[in-house]
Chain A
Amino acid sequence: MLIVTFEALLAGFGLFFYYVAFDYHMNESINYRMVFYIFDILTLAELVMVFLVVPVFTAGAISMERERQTLDVLISTGVSPFKLIVEKLLSTVALVAIMGYASLPILAIVYSVGGVGIDQIIGVVLLMIAAAILFGSIGIFFSTICNTTMVAIVSTYVTMILIFLTTLIVGNINAIAESFRNRYGIAGTLFSIMTYAPKGAGAYLLLLNPIYIVVKFFGGDTAKEMFKEIRDAGGMFSNIEEHWVLISGSLLMLISFILLVISAKKIRK
């Protein structure tokens, strides 16, 4: 039911923007820029869906077993806690993979008019799976340490939003401080201190922000703008910017793995 609803929504988005792009008079010109936007919007829609759905499934993975009083029996079977945790995560990741696979025909709307390669189409599905692993790991972590499912779900969402916002703000503190000073003429000590942070240093924090991977994946003007400071810092930061998806993706997967190990350790309270 979830997959059907998801695909129906996605198809609705896709067909709407397809209609707008191609205009209903088939003999008129095609707005190719709009076609590319369709791909970006559909990908974003899928990632938002993953963001909304995955925590609900994973944040209840362990806490619901505890609430249902089935966890003790599971543990007593001698199964390794890590295997138990990973099985819980994989069941949700599999669902996301199916959703991604089922969305391929819809993404193919854009592929059919060119401009988006098959590697990008596959990249979307991989991005969804990686996002599911990251969000799922956070969900499972809170599911293990929280006493109730509701608290685990809320904690997961709050943590993810905090990660997005905190890394975004602190990682771009230079630019934000400059903007405030230029716009409002604020010359307080705090802002002065902020602008003394080494250029590009925010990259270290931004590597932890999944949004930047998505933006890098899309490329385009938005990506150029968002990565400008890092690129301009030169040296090592240029290398980081060039291999952003690989470095940030690896870092986030490592964090996911660490969270899963901690969850496995904490599963027996």
Chain B
Amino acid sequence: MLTVENLNYSYGSHKVLKDLCMHVEKGQLYGLVGRNGAGKTTTMKILSGIIDADSGRVTLNGVDFPRRTHLRDIFVGHSEYKKIGYMPDNFGVYNNLSALEYLDFYAEEYGLTGKKKEKRIAEILEMMNISELSEKLVSGMSRGMKQKLGLARTMINDPDLLILDEPSSGVEPEGQVSLRDMLIGLCSEGKTIIISSHVLSELTRLCTNVGMLEGGRLTFEGSVAEVLEKSRLNNLVRVAFVDGFEDGMKIIHDSPLVSKISFDNNEIYFEFKGERKEEAELLKRLISAGTTVSFFGREGGSLESLFKSVI
């Protein structure tokens, strides 16, 4: 659905994005992770059309996104960007408007008018569960309510792609759960969502796919299952022996896939380059040698450990 090819962007002399390539399929909930300054917000702004990349190509549903400094775009705008809903990390609101007026304003900006606009606003308020806030002034809303309103505004034009920069930032726990359920629900309806967050555990629970941004490029991109497996493989293997410790140590030491061995009581820790199949073979050799193993395995993978290994 969304393809990014060799995107480059610099702030002055500081190059933030270096030939960034990214691919998001329809219906994915794609988590973009990276440390502060990695380029997440810059990437999202380019995809939303707020800034133009220095070079590179972005296509949505096979259609190229043009540079918005073209003269035609200055006068006419570009309808492709109306298929994207963008919610920045810190976004301002018009405090003197009510929630209904706020949504009405943006609906007009998206080109919705008349009965169609009214119907859509009512639907969105219902969907976001904020109908009771329609007459409330935005200035009187909590951070969580404003985030919901912001998300409602993002959805007003029924976009194909949602780009949400830290949507749960500053939201209370109950609101985060509600937001998570909402995003999962939207994905199940066929929406594609790109989300960034500093709460990696949340992304693991929420996302279907993850891209890890470091040094202006994606160092890793794949499904969450692939991420967890990759991370798991970075973890040490732990083997606990009931007996046959010496024999077990010898077998482990002789394996060409093993390095950095350490031990504590009857437990051996080591780095292991193999995957699940090689792990199973090593365990089989240990048992065949007559050792009694009470535990063999690695710590489960996590986005945090993969993130730490990359940075």
Interface residues of A (CB under 8 A from B): 68-70, 72-83, 261, 264-265, 268-269
B50, A76: Cβ atoms closer than 8 Å: yes
Measured between beta carbons, the chain B residues less than 8 angstroms from A76 are 48-50, 81, 84-86
Measured between beta carbons, the chain A residues less than 8 angstroms from B80 are 78
* A-B CB proximity, top 7 nearest: A80-B77, A78-B81, A69-B92, A68-B92, A76-B86, A78-B82, A70-B92
Give me 19 other A-B pairs in contact (C-beta within 8 A), A264-B74, A265-B74 excluded.
A69-B90, A72-B45, A72-B48, A72-B91, A73-B106, A76-B48, A76-B85, A77-B81, A77-B109, A78-B77, A78-B80, A78-B81, A78-B110, A79-B77, A79-B109, A80-B75, A82-B74, A83-B77, A261-B74
A70, B94: Cβ atoms closer than 8 Å: yes
What residue of chain A has the Cβ atom nearest to residue B70's Cβ? A265
Measured between beta carbons, the chain A residues less than 8 angstroms from B106 are 73, 77
In-complex Cβ contact of A69 among B49, B75, B76, B91 (8 A): B91
Interface readout for B76-105 with A: 1 if CB under 8 Å, 0 if not? Answer: 111111101111101111100000000000
Given A69-B88, A69-B92, residue A268 in contact with residue B51 (CB < 8 A): yes
B109, A81: Cβ atoms closer than 8 Å: no
A78, B78: Cβ atoms closer than 8 Å: yes
- Asked whether any CB of chain A lies closer than 8 Å to the CB of B148, the reply is no
Interface residues of B (CB under 8 A from A): 45, 48-52, 68-69, 73-82, 84-88, 90-94, 106, 109-110, 153, 157
Looking at the assembled complex, report how far the CB atom of B9 sits from the nearest CB atom of chain A, in whole angstroms.
13
A77, B82: Cβ atoms closer than 8 Å: yes
Looking at the assembled complex, report how far the CB atom of B164 sits from the nearest CB atom of chain A, in whole angstroms.
12
Looking at the assembled complex, report how far the CB atom of B50 sits from the nearest CB atom of chain A, in whole angstroms.
5
What residue of chain A has the Cβ atom nearest to residue B73's Cβ? A80
What residue of chain A has the Cβ atom nearest to residue B77's Cβ? A80
Q: List 8 A-B contacts (CB under 8 A).
A: A69-B90, A70-B92, A79-B109, A80-B73, A80-B75, A80-B76, A80-B77, A265-B74
In-complex Cβ contact of B74 among A68, A70, A78, A80 (8 A): A80
Looking at the assembled complex, report how far the CB atom of B229 sits from the nearest CB atom of chain A, in whole angstroms.
36
In-complex Cβ contact of A70 among B52, B73, B86, B91 (8 A): B91
What residue of chain B has the Cβ atom nearest to residue A81's Cβ? B74
**Please, how many angstroms separate the alpha-carbon atoms of A79 and B109 in the complex?**
7
Looking at the assembled complex, report how far the CB atom of A263 sits from the nearest CB atom of chain B, in whole angstroms.
10
B68, A268: Cβ atoms closer than 8 Å: yes
Measured between beta carbons, the chain A residues less than 8 angstroms from B74 are 80-82, 261, 264-265
